Amino acid sequence: MEQLYPIAIFIFVLFLLLGTGVWIGLALIGVAFVGMELFTTRPPGDAMMTQIWRSASSWSLTALPLFIWMGEILYRTRISEDMFRGLAPWLARLPGGLLHTNVAGCTVFAAVSGSSAATLTTVGKMTMPELMRRGYPERYVIGTIAGAATLGLMIPPSLTLIVYGVAINESITSLFIAGVFPGLVLSAFFMTYVMLISKMAPDFRPAPEPPLSFAEKLAQSRYLIPVILLIVLVIGSMYLGIATATEAAAFGVIGSLALAAAQRSLNWSSFVESLLGATRISAMIVLILSGAAFLSIAMGFTGIPRALADWIGAMGLSRFELLMALLVFYIILGCFLDGISAVVLTMAAVEPMIRQAGIDIIWFGIFIVLVVEMAQITPPIGFNLFVLQGMTGREIGYIARCAFPMFLIMVAMVFVMIAFPELATWLPAQMQR
């Protein structure tokens, strides 16, 4: 292949920069600059200036800092405690008992967070001590929270879906709606796993919960009302066509501030901390997106994406074979890069392939987010593993072994998505009618 030499140069420079500790966004800009200097006659400075400004000033990107800020505000409220109190009475009698609160709590919080790390930290800091105290086996407590927290990447609002939508210029609202059913199905798979281990694991003998009457359960459910209203406000406004993703994010910020004010859990100091936290994360993601946009245009000038797409097309791979190749590729890539970086780094080369193969671009967004979820719990760079290490003091290897069954469930979910693509495409199609 004629393009092998420039591809090798791109990869070498990228890993050289990353290996020396350069920020990912700056490393992408550096790779693009070198590539344009070596393989094109166009001035790299003008292209860099134009692409960075265009990517950073995208209107679709305005939803990103707002959703991040919403998650930062909620992280500083009592929402995890309220969710546990509201969910526990209904889940205690299921096979697996209160271990289901890890999955259900992450599912609920994911619908107002958008971040896997925020979901893990917020839900885990409440459920893990309670479950340990009640005698649930540690490996299942750690494993289920590690896997279930990845739902923050799929269930809207998802930061990764925003980045994917901006990278390929696709409707973020459609992507959000597409993630609803797959996220709920994956959550159901996790809960099924909890039920199975409760029957099969010999050491699964937690302390029984005291029985509650139906009226008492309803009374406890009042703690879920604020977060349910917030979910309806954010997701419902998008599904009904009342608001765009950016407007829904603004509603979410207002709703989370109102919730924090009602709980009296947000003072001036924590308000400033939430703003600074959102600013830091947003700046990091925008820098990565800007670098990826410049790299995309540099690769486009060299003809690499089209050459790769033509090469894949010449191999005669079926859609299933192409998806399996991409599955393995992203799992390996996820061992070394975080999810957002993996998405923006590869879209320039992958997008022409999937379009040429006739794969639905909305469906592929959910597919890639599902695969990126796996990267959150795979060593050596799985971010959820590091968060859990800080929370539990356990070694990364032990946490990874605890989370491995959840990884296998996600792999199974990929095949379910391939067999039933309507899981991701039906709801957006209904919304567009």
pLDDT tens-digit map of 173-198: 889 889 989 999 999 999 999 999 99
Please, which pLDDT band fits residue 305 given cuts at 50, 70 and 90?
low
Task: Return the pLDDT at 184.
Answer: 93
Task: Return the pLDDT at 433.
Answer: 64
| Global confidence as pTM | 0.80
Task: Return the pLDDT at 337.
Answer: 66
Question: What's the token pair of residue 26?
Answer: 């700056």
Evaluate if residue 200 carries a pLDDT over 60: yes
Give me the mean pLDDT over the 155-162 stretch. Answer: 83
Per the prediction, the chain carries an average pLDDT of 82
Evaluate if residue 406 carries a pLDDT over 90: yes
Task: Return the pLDDT at 153.
Answer: 79
Evaluate if residue 419 carries a pLDDT over 60: yes
What is the share, in percent, of the chain residues with pLDDT greater than 70?
92
Evaluate if residue 302 carries a pLDDT over 80: no
Lowest mean pLDDT among 2-11, 222-231, 248-257, 392-401: 2-11
Evaluate if residue 1 carries a pLDDT over 60: no
Task: Return the pLDDT at 226.
Answer: 86
Please, which pLDDT band fits residue 89 given cuts at 50, 70 and 90?
confident
Give me the mean pLDDT over the 212-239 stretch. Answer: 85
Evaluate if residue 380 carries a pLDDT over 70: no
List pLDDT tens digits, range 118-153. 788 778 887 888 888 888 999 999 999 999 988 887
Quote the CA–CA distance of 431 and 332 in Å, as a whole number: 35
Greater confidence (21 vs 362) lies with: 362
Lowest mean pLDDT among 26-30, 164-168, 381-385: 381-385
